[in-house]
Structure 1
Amino acid sequence: MSDPDLREQISRSITGMTDAIAAEAAAKVAREAAIGQVLENVAALRAEAENRFDPSYLAVVRHLYWHHKVIPVAELVEASGFGYVAELLSAIGPVKSGVVCETCGADIMRTSRSWQPPRRYWNNPVECETCQKASRDVDYRQRQLQALREQYAQQARYRRQRWTGRSRSSWCSPTRRSACRSQVMMTTST
């Protein structure tokens, strides 16, 4: 390829890149305008609703919150007439995630936009919150029971040592081992 052909191709590539950047910026402006229009419509719908807990109004807000993540949460909260995100979430409630609990068979619910499906770690099943809490409680009780068993065993060893006097390890400690052997030999030889 000659040098002028290469420069012409580079020039066309730069023009194409510039056009793509301009189209992306125009699409972003159009998206922001559309989001603004949606939020204005939500505010108008809120004004028409009897209260902000009207089921048909909450259905619209629920759909926008859970299925249109491009709408900023803070702006949706403001347009829908709620004071803060937790208040909005308590009003619209969680939504089914499509993931089923392997323990009880219930649908696992999404409680926030950033929710991710639970992953299977090691051999643990994918569980709903209720089953996870029950599993944690069982694990906690088993650890507590094991700790109590160890504590009782340790106390029994201590009591046994006190009952018999000294522990066997103290009878023939490394510093006194030769003396112990000589005492044992003397008692067996006589």
Structure 2
Amino acid sequence: GAGKTTLVKLLARLYDPSEGRILLDGHDLREYDLNELRMQVGVIFQDFQRYQMTFSQNIAVGNIAEIDNAARIELAAEKSMADLLYGRLPNGFDQMLGRRFSNGVELSGGEWQKIALARAYMKNAQLLILDEPTAALDARAEYEVFQRFADLTRGKTAVLISHRFSTVRMADRILVLEGGELLEIGTHEELIAKKGRYEELFSLRAAGYR
């Protein structure tokens, strides 16, 4: 309820702010062509869709113009580690997913999440926004996904929303939101030294592992 997902939707221009402005390279976001802007932004929300379609189609909806580009779909799957599912799907990328069809295969929450991540990689986006992208993954899988993500976003901008400090620590800049307002900003080390809200929450979480 701090406003994290709302902020992300504003960045992606799913709607415009009722007050203030969002600037990109010094220009109001509303000055940019909406379609061109969205092609440069890849977003995966925590409440992503599980489409009753084939494995490849589920990934291709991230950039529907490339739905027939098998090489691009396979590369996106590899980047998100969704390709690890390929070996156990009877029909590979043509496998129907979900329970709606008699030959459909249901996936676990973490497996669906990797497919959702692959959608973000279908674009050559300059800005990747992941809203709680690993909530359904275990600790090891989360670590592997974010190590891959760190490599793939070099030279680009990535916005991660997470409550997990193992994820948060990776960021170059951390923003702490509370009650719809920006409470603190800085690196992990700076925020720990500040001994504010971030340090309090980090210490409480760390105490649980001692």
TM-score normalised according to structure 1 size = 0.23
The structure that is strand-richer by fraction is 2
